Amino acid sequence: MRIPAVHSMMLAAIALAAMVVGGARAADLVVPHDPSALDTTMLVSNACSKCHGATGISISPLFPILAAQQAVYIDTELKLFRQRARSDPHARAFMWGIARGLTDDQIDGVAQYFSTQPPAQGTASRDPALAERGKALYESGVPAREIPACNICHGANAEGLGAFPRLAGQHRDYLVIQLQQFRSQLRESEIMQPVSKNITDDEIAAVAEYLASK
């Protein structure tokens, strides 16, 4: 199973993302610097929901599902966006502007809100054989090629563990893009870059298929 090159996928992703948010520019979603301007409810409604959905279940696979995501993970990523310490293309296009004015309290509020929402239900696999291969990779990795099992960090049911994100029920295409970005070092991560350096496109497709179906 072939997957398009990262560069082409990200150009298409960013173009489609602009359509998903109704043609709004990233600047239109920038959060005001005044800490009193937005409480958590307003922040979710005015900024987060435009891409991630009101309860954290996004419609577009270009934007991650945040419902039932680990609060520590959301908190960490929002602070990285605010610091511009995540420089992958989607972060630059959207999250840098959105997160730059957030306070620590606002970030904590958003993290707690989405982490307590009901999780998304996995979608039925379009390729059960591929999903089974992904399950084997998730649970056992490929030791001969220094690919560790995913469940060590992400949990037996891909529910996430603290700073390690929930992956169960996530969009297939989003998972594919993130793994490709880690592998190509477009997205920074001291853990995921070495983990993904030897993974193939077919293996990425298999793991994404399995996780999306959970």
pLDDT tens track for 201-214:
999 999 999 999 99
Residues 181 and 187 sit within 8 Å (Cβ to Cβ): yes
Within-domain flag for 138: yes
Domain match, 55 and 103 both: yes
- pLDDT-wise least confident of 5-14, 71-80, 101-110, 160-169: 5-14
- Print the domain residue range for 163: 128-212
Domain match, 108 and 10 both: yes
CB within 8 Å of 185: residues ≥ 6 apart: 193
Structural domains in the chain (count): 2
Within-domain flag for 26: yes
Within-domain flag for 1: no
Q: Is 121 helix (H, G, I), strand (E, B) or coil?
A: coil
pLDDT tens track for 21-63:
444 444 445 555 555 557 899 999 999 999 999 999 999 999 9
pLDDT tens track for 93-136:
999 999 999 999 999 999 999 999 999 999 999 999 999 999 99
Q: Which pLDDT value is given to residue 96?
A: 96
Q: Which pLDDT value is given to residue 139?
A: 98
Residues 13 and 23 sit within 8 Å (Cβ to Cβ): no
